[in-house]
Every structure is written in structure tokens, then in C-alpha cells.
Chain A
Amino acid sequence: MTSSLQTVPVGVLFSTSGPYAALGREGLAGAMLAIAEINADDQYGLKLAAQVRDPRGSTEQYAAMAADIVGTTGARHILGCTTSWSRKEVIPVLEKSATMLWYSCPYEGFEAHDQVIYLGACPNQHILPLLAFALPRFGTNGYLVGSNYIWGWETNRIARDIIEAAGGPVAGERYVPLGDVDIGRIIEEIRTKRPAFVVNTLIGPSSYAFLAAYHALGQADQTFSQDVRPVLSCNFAESEVAQLGAVAAGQYAISPYFQSLATPENRRFLDTAKQFAPDAVHISAFFAQAYAAVHLLAAGLAGAGTDATDAVREATKFVSMTAPFGPIEIDDATNHAVLTPRIARAVVGGFDIVSDMETAIRPDPYLAYSPVAVASDPAAPSPRVSHLRVIK
């Protein structure tokens, strides 16, 4: 434990190569931006010493590297992990060493660990509102495609649940091994089944290959353009849209943060980014939420006056802070963030926000309370909205 809080070591554990490198690099950049900003001024009365490790997308590396951070640097807080596999690998290390993980990515839910703070969206904050938006607009027979691991399986299971409750049917459901780009069979099946929309839970190169092939299908046959049968995603980043160009344009994504969010707090954040990380041109939720996680950690450290995890976790729940995506609150029962989902449409170079519910949704990681169905009246408000403090 650090008795004086002048400089606090914090682990930073993101993969900058491997199948989800694009998202890992964003998380790393967002965390490092916040650390640079915090160290440059005195807003929390402390400095953070980043202890960076890169597991390079290898699940087996995460536990060893987390243990190395804890054992060699004395850090009691680690920022990082992108996939749920990597988070599950790190959790036993956290438990043995009284360490806290600040996890900033959207994930499939069904977890609420005492030693993890979840900044990213869980299913009642991503796939549920995304389908509530899509089903009344495009129809109910969706096609589900995902990477062959828990994120794809579980997000698509929930999507299937909703689609079937709405009368369905699910037009098809296919999985692709992580990193695999052989998706010809899937495109052929979509061409035959003609679904109303496609839920895409693929990640990295598989996702890019799919979008390219689907775009080609849309070029060959206008009835498969994204205007008619759009692709929906819960985890697509601005940098990926920029990289893919026209191929990604037209798809819908849901996220608490988009770079195009026109709020004063986002303008301030983007100015800060320009100042401390001029190379970061495309800024996504993976970036902004890692950035917010570091600020929340710093505020928690300052509030607790120690880096002991229990004290910091409790202090975090009393922090009044505005993140780039709005006021931030950590739900006491689940350690998950209260978040406001926005839905945006990809254009060349970024996202246009098409629906901002402007209503914060309380996290429900086990879908204990959230109706897993689309309301017959899509304008009806969610019954589990938050009552956030207004922070000026």
C-alpha cells in the first residue's frame, strides 16, 4: 500500500497487436492521455506512474503480466483488458493480490466482481437499446454473425431472444474463428436468406473482411445496400470506420460515446486530446472510456487518500465527475457505470449520431430486471432509467 499518494503506480494492460489490436491501442492511448493530463496539473494532488505491459493479444499472457505488474511495481490498480477472456484470466490475480481492475470496454455481462470497475456498456446498455431502435425500423428477421467466443455467443443469444420475442425469425447465426477472414459462405447465406438486418459481433480482421464482402454484395445488388439491410454493431470504433472508408459506411453502432458527440464536455475532452495526444485523430468509446477510467481512479485515490482497493472503490462511488460522455456514476450494487447509449450511423471518416436517448440507463449485468424484448411502443421510456445528479 502506498502511504503517501504523491506518485501512485498503476498497471496499464492492453494488447497493441493481435486480432483486437485496434481496440487495445485505443484503450492504451486513452489511458496514457489521462495519465499525462493528470501528471501535468495538480487537479487530484497526485501523480500516476504508468506500468505498461503488452500481452500482444495472447490470452495466456494476461495473468502473468498482471502478476508481474503487481509483484514488481506494487501497483494495486490495473487499467486494461479488452476481451472477456483476458479479464477472466486476470481476475484470479486480482483476488490473490487485493488489486482492482478498471475495465473500460463493452462486454456481454453476467459478471459483477467486487474487484472490477466496469466502465463499458453491458447488454441492457448496448444490444437491448440497439434492437429496440432497429426492429421497428427494419423488421424482425435479423441475421447474427460473430467471432467464435463469448462476446459473440452471448450478445447474439440475447439478440435471438429479443428477435424471437418480437416474432422473428432469426434468419441465420454463424461464427467465425478469431482472426479468420473466410466469410464467403456467410455472405452467400445472407444473399439467400435476405434478412432485415445483420447483427455483427465479429471483431478485428474478421469484421473488416465481412464488411468488405457485404459492401461488395450491396454494390452488386442494391437490395443488400446498408440503406436497405443495415449492419448493426455494439463495438465498432471510429478508427475502424476511418480505416475501412466506404466499406463501413451505412452501418449502425451503439455506444455511450462517439467522437461526434456535440456536448461541452466532449469538446473539452477533444481539446485535451489534441493538446496531449496530437496523433490521436480518431477517438472512440474504447479511448474515451479508458480515459474516463483513469480519471475516476485518480479521483477515487484522492478521495480515499490511499491506494487500498476497498477504500478506493468506496470513494469512487461518491465521486462527482463529468466524463467525455456525460456525468459518471458507478452503481453500488454491481460496480458498473450508469451510461447513456447513443446510436450512430457510420459515414466515411466517422459516425453521425442518429438517436440520443439522453436517458442514462442503470447497469443490469445479469439482465435481472430488463425486459428482454422490444417494447411494442418504441417511444416508451425504459422503466430502469437513472436519476443522475446534474453536474455543472
Chain B
Amino acid sequence: MSQFKTTPKFDGQCALILHRPHPVVDAITRQLTQLGVRYQTHWPELPADLDAAAFNHLFYDADMGHDGQFPWAPGKAPMLSIALIGSEAPGRLAWAIRLGADAHLLKPIGSGGIFAALVIASQAFESRAAQAAELSDLRERLAGRQVLAEATACLMMLDNISADAAYERLRRTAMTERKSIEAMALQIVEQLRSGHVRTDRA
């Protein structure tokens, strides 16, 4: 019935709440306590020296919020973020999205909703982080493709061998030196450019 093989747990985690003192905050803290989540509340801004690594969740006010409240750039929150929305005015929603909402809660907040928001936001945050890591890896590889082609071409000309043999030599050298093939290619190209040519003729 569900993709959760195990029951989602938040016991022992810590949340930041960025909202002025209000019944909304009381409703959130009551539910966090039921889930075993500790919390800190701040207003009007998060401390500049905040130890972000100590926190797992951020609840932020989308009604009165602005970029200057956070010690990080919009969209760069190092923890999952849940927007607390009163006004559904498009301008406010645009800001909440730009801040990087992984989930949202509509005010007023009653006796439920925090668990669902945390579960949904955790999934969104994890998949966002995994996608960002994959994207950065792919970008790196894409950038490496040109230098890979250049290194292969250099080895072909230098040793008068086929493209396949040049690539194989590059691959084996990378393995011997315990480097990624892209890093090995870059090293060879840079050595060639500086005149220090060394290839494995073995």
C-alpha cells in the first residue's frame, strides 16, 4: 500500500522554527514534541553564526519572510524546508518556492499535519539532494569528455596506435595511478602542453 517499508522516524532530530511568537508556533512545537523532535524558535532572523549542521528541519514563515532572515542564499538551505503559508498571494508563494520549500503547511495549524509535512519534505529533500549530486557528477563527466578525446588523440599520434588502443592505454594508466579516467586524461593533456610527455608504453 505504501512505498514506506519502515515507519518514518524523526526521534532525536532538531528543527528550526522561523516565525514570530504565535499560536501557529505552539501548534508546531506540540506536534514536534509528540514526534520526539527538539526545536529552536527564532524571529526576526536566524542567527548569523547558526550551526546549520545541528538541524534537520526548517519551518519558515512565508507571510512576513524575506531573504535577509537566512544565513544562506535562497534555495541553498542545508536542511529540508517547510513553508508556513497564510496568504496565498502569488507573490508570497513565489518567494516561498524560491526559498526552496520541500513541503508546506497552511495556517492556521491545528492538531495534525506536521508528521505528513516532515515525511513528504524528507522525501523531496533527499531526492533533490540526490538529483543535485547526480547532476554535478554528470556535468563533471561532460566537461571531461573533451579532454578525454584530446588525450586519446595525443596518445594515438604520439605512439602511432589506434583509437581503441590509445583509450585502453589511458584506462590502464588511470587504473594504475588510481585516478578517474577523466583526471588521468587531464593530467596527460597538461603534461603534453607543458612539454613533459610521459606515457606508459608497457
Contact = CB atoms under 8 A, between A and B. Distances in A.
B40 interface: no
Contacts of A158: 7
Interface stretch (A27-35, A236-244, A274-282, A366-374): A366-374
Interface size class of B (residues with CB under 8 A): 10 to 19
B176 interface: no
The A interface, classified by DSSP as helix, strand, loop or mixed, is loop
B111 A157 contact: no
A96 to B, nearest CB: 11
Contacts of A367: 7, 9
Contacts, number: 49
Contacts of A59: none
Contact of B33 (A116, A157, A165, A333): A333
Nearest to A116: B111
B11 interface: yes
Contacts of B112: 111-113
B46 to A, nearest CB: 26
A365 B34 contact: yes
Contacts of B34: 112, 333-334, 365-366, 368
Given A95-B110, A112-B34, A333-B34, A372 B1 contact: no
Contacts of A114: 30, 110-111
B7 A153 contact: no
A165 B34 CA distance: 24
Nearest to B36: A368
Given A111-B112, A113-B112, A369 B5 contact: no
B115 interface: yes
Contacts of A161: 5-7
A158 B9 CA distance: 13
Contacts of B36: 368-369
Interface in A122-168: 153, 157-158, 160-161, 164-165
A115 B111 contact: yes
A294 B1 CA distance: 36
Interface in B101-147: 110-112, 115
Contacts of A366: 34-35, 115
Contacts of A334: 34
A130 B186 CA distance: 62
A110 interface: yes
A368 B36 CA distance: 6
B55 interface: no
Contacts of B30: 114, 333
B95 interface: no
Contacts of A160: 5
A372 B11 contact: no
Contact of B2 (A95, A111, A157, A365): A157
Interface of B: 1-2, 4-7, 9-11, 30-31, 33-36, 110-112, 115
27 contacts: A95-B110, A112-B34, A112-B111, A113-B112, A114-B30, A114-B110, A114-B111, A115-B111, A116-B111, A153-B2, A157-B1, A157-B2, A157-B7, A158-B7, A160-B5, A161-B7, A164-B5, A333-B30, A365-B34, A366-B34, A366-B35, A367-B9, A368-B9, A368-B35, A368-B36, A369-B11, A372-B6
